[in-house]
Amino acid sequence: MKNALLGVLCAASVALFSGHARAQETDKVEASSAVYVRTDTDETTVITPRLELGAPLSEETRLDLTYSVDVWTSASIDIRTSASIGVDSETPQKVTEQRDEIDVALTHALSDVTLGGSYRYSVEHDYESHGGSFGGGYDFADNSANISLSVRAYFDTVGRAGAPDFEEKSTLYSARVAFTQVIDAQTVANLVYEVGLQQGYLSSPYRFVRFAKPDSVPQSTCVAPITLCLPETNPDSRMRHAFALSARRALTDEISIGANYRFYLDSWDMTSHTIGIDGALVPAETWLFSLGYRFYMQSSASHFKPFYTTMPFPETYTSDKELSDLSSHRLELEVMKSFELDELGSELAAVLLVAPSHFIYNEFLLLDSISALEVTLALEVSL
| 23 domain-assigned | yes
pLDDT value at residue 270: 98
338 assigned to some structural domain: no
pLDDT in tens, 159-218: 998 888 999 999 999 999 999 999 999 999 999 999 999 999 999 998 888 887 766 666
Q: Using the predicted structure, report yes or no on whether residue 78 has a pLDDT greater than 80.
A: no
Residue 285 lies in a domain: yes
Q: Given a cut of 80, is residue 230 above it in pLDDT? A: yes
- Compute the Cα dihedral for 330, 372, 263, 295 and give only its sign: negative
- Residues making up the chain, counted from first to last: 383
Whether 261 maps to a domain, the answer reads: yes
> pLDDT tens-digit profile of 255-303?
999 999 999 999 999 999 999 999 999 999 899 999 999 999 999 999 9
More confident residue, 23 or 354: 354
Cα-Cα-Cα-Cα torsion 56, 248, 145, 383, nearest 10 degrees, comes to -10
Q: Answer yes or no: are the C-beta atoms of 38 and 32 closer than 8 Å.
A: no
Count of CB atoms within 10 A of residue 163's CB? 10
Please give the residue range of the domain that contains residue 226. Answer: 2-333+347-382
CA atoms of 26 and 75, how far apart (whole Å): 43
Give a yes or no: residue 340 inside a domain: no
Least confident span in 40-54, 221-235, 263-277, 304-318 = 221-235
In a domain, 342, yes or no: no
pLDDT band, very low/low/confident/very high, at 8 (cuts 50, 70, 90): very low
Indicate which CATH number applies to the domain containing 280.
2.40.160
Which pLDDT value is given to residue 380? 95
Residues 359-377 have pLDDT tens digits of: 999 998 888 999 999 999 9
Q: Which residues, in sequence order, are bridge partners of residue 227?
A: 212
Residue 92 pLDDT grade (very low, low, confident, very high; cuts 50, 70, 90):
low
Distance between CA 262 and CA 273 in Å, rounded? Answer: 6
Q: What total number of domains does the chain contain?
A: 1
Q: Residue 221 has what pLDDT?
A: 60
In a domain, 94, yes or no: yes
- Give residue-wise pLDDT tens across range 94-116: 888 999 999 999 999 998 999 99
User: What is the structure's pLDDT at 22?
Assistant: 43
Measure the CA–CA gap between 5 and 23, rounded to whole angstroms.
9
Distances (CA, A) of 198 to 4, 18, 172, 203, 260: 40, 26, 5, 11, 26
Cα dist. 319→16, 231, 308, 378 in Å?
29, 10, 9, 37
Contact in structure between 232 and 204 (CB atoms under 8 Å): yes
State the pLDDT at residue 83: 46
What pLDDT sits at residue 213? Answer: 72
Name the CA dihedral angle for 85, 91, 96, 97, rounded to a multiple of 10 degrees.
20
Determine the residue type at 111. S
